[in-house]
Amino acid sequence: MLDLSIIIVNWNVAALLSACLDSILRSDVSLDTPDDARLSIEIIVVDSASSDDSVAVLRQRYPQVTLIAESENVGYTRGNNIGLRAARGRHLLLLNPDTEIIGDALQQLVAHLDAHPDVGIVGPNTRNTDGSYQSTRRRFPTLATAYFESTWLQPYAPRHLLDTFYVNDAAEDATLDVDWVQGSALMARREVYEQIGGLDEGYIMFCEELDWCHRAKDDGWRVVYLGNARIIHHGGKSTEQVAARKHIHFQQSKLRYVHKHHGTFEAQVLRRFLLASYTWEIAVEGVKALLGHKRPLRQARIDTYRQVLRSGLKVT
C-alpha cells in the first residue's frame, strides 16, 4: 500500500495548482510505487469544472497525477470526499491547491502518524506568502466564540476568548495536541476515515474540517499540530472569486456546526444575531458611502451583505 494519498480540490487556480504540484514533486517521493527508501505517494486532483486551463495543464504537464474532472462545481467538501473514495494510501492528506510544501514536511507528517498510533489527524506549521506565521491550529469554539469570531464584534471580544480559540498560548514551532487543524493541509490516517466516514457534505465549505476533527476526537483519536513541518498557504484564492457565496457558506457552516454540536435553539438564536449583524453592516457601509468615503468599495460590500440577507442563512 502507498504511504500517502494527496487529495487536492481545484477550481480555477491553474497557476497556483502547478506551483503546489511542483513543490510536491520536488520532495523526496516515489509516485505510485511502494518504496522502502522514499515516501510513496499518489496525487489525486478533483477539478470542480474549472473554466480556466486547469484540466489542460494537468493533462499536458502532470500525466502522473490522477485527474478526476467533474462536469459541475461539486464544492470543496464533496470534492474531497470524491478524492477520499479514490485514495489508496495508508494516510490521506487534504491539501489546498494554493499551498506549497516546504522541504520534508510530508515525510515529517507521515512519520509522526507512524510513530504515534493514537494520533488520528495531524496538521503542519503554515506560513503566509511572505513567510509570516498563519494560524491554522484551534481549540473547539464555544458558543461565545461563534458570536465574536469573524463578526463585527471580534474587535470587542474578551482577549482570553480568542487567545484560547487560536491557541495563542503555544509557540509557532511547538508540537502539541489541539482540537482541530485547518483543512488547507490536514493529514489523517486511513483508519480514521474508515471509522468516522468522510467529510459532512452539509458543509459546502468552511467548518467541514472542524466537524471532522470533532468526530475523530469523539471516537478517541488525538489531533496534533506539528510545528516542525512547514508549508506555505497563499490563502483563499478560490473563494476570492465569489465574495458573497463565501460569506453565505461561512455563516451557514457555522450555523450547521452549532446546530450539530450545541443544539437547535442555540443555532436559531445565532442565526438571528447574524442576520441582524449584516443588516447593521449595510447601514454602516451606507452611511460611509453617503459621506463619500470609498464609495465603490462600500457599494460592493452592501451588495454582498444584501445577498447574504436574501439567502436567509438557513440552519441545516
pLDDT on residue 152: 86
- Residue 316 lies inside a defined structural domain of this protein: no
Q: Are 151 and 296 within one domain? A: no
Q: Are 255 and 165 within one domain? A: no
Q: Are 132 and 220 within one domain? A: yes
Q: Are 75 and 15 within one domain? A: yes
pLDDT on residue 316: 83
Contact assessment for residue 41 and residue 88, using Cβ atoms and an 8 Å cutoff: no
Domain boundary among 197, 214, 239: 239
- Residue 271 lies inside a defined structural domain of this protein: yes
3-state secondary structure of 176: strand
d(CA 207, CA 186): 13
Domain boundary among 200, 219, 239: 239
pLDDT on residue 254: 94
Q: Are 122 and 231 within one domain? A: yes
Q: Are 205 and 119 within one domain? A: yes
DSSP class per residue in 26-93: HSSEEESS--SSSEEEEEEEEEE--SSSHHHHHHHH-TTSEEEEESS---HHHHHHHHHHH--SSEEE
- Residue 95 lies inside a defined structural domain of this protein: yes
Domain boundary among 239, 264, 281: 239
Contact assessment for residue 33 and residue 70, using Cβ atoms and an 8 Å cutoff: no
List Cβ neighbours of 12 (8 Å cut-off, separation of 6 or more).
50, 51, 52, 54, 238, 241
d(CA 35, CA 49): 34
> Which CATH number covers residue 140?
3.90.550.10
pLDDT on residue 236: 59
Q: Are 172 and 260 within one domain? A: no
- Return the closest-CA partner of residue 180 out of 228, 223, 124: 223
Show the cell assigned to 77: 467538501
Contact assessment for residue 183 and residue 208, using Cβ atoms and an 8 Å cutoff: yes
Q: Are 229 and 305 within one domain? A: no
pLDDT on residue 237: 55
- Residue 209 lies inside a defined structural domain of this protein: yes
264-291 per-position pLDDT tens digit: 999 999 999 999 999 999 999 888 888 8
**What residues make up the domain containing 197?**
4-239
pLDDT on residue 242: 55
Phi, psi of 39, rounded to the nearest 5 degrees = -70, 120
d(CA 216, CA 119): 10
Q: Are 186 and 251 within one domain? A: no
Below-50 pLDDT ranges, the chain: 238-239
Q: Are 271 and 218 within one domain? A: no
Number of domains in the chain: 2
- Residue 279 lies inside a defined structural domain of this protein: yes
Q: Are 215 and 276 within one domain? A: no
Q: Are 192 and 298 within one domain? A: no
Show the cell assigned to 30: 516515489
Show the cell assigned to 4: 500517502
3-state secondary structure 93-139: EEECCCEEECCCHHHHHHHHHHHCCCEEEEEEEEECCCCCEECCEEC
- Residue 215 lies inside a defined structural domain of this protein: yes
- Residue 43 lies inside a defined structural domain of this protein: yes
d(CA 222, CA 27): 27
Alpha helices in 170-242 (DSSP H): 190-196, 208-218
- Residue 196 lies inside a defined structural domain of this protein: yes
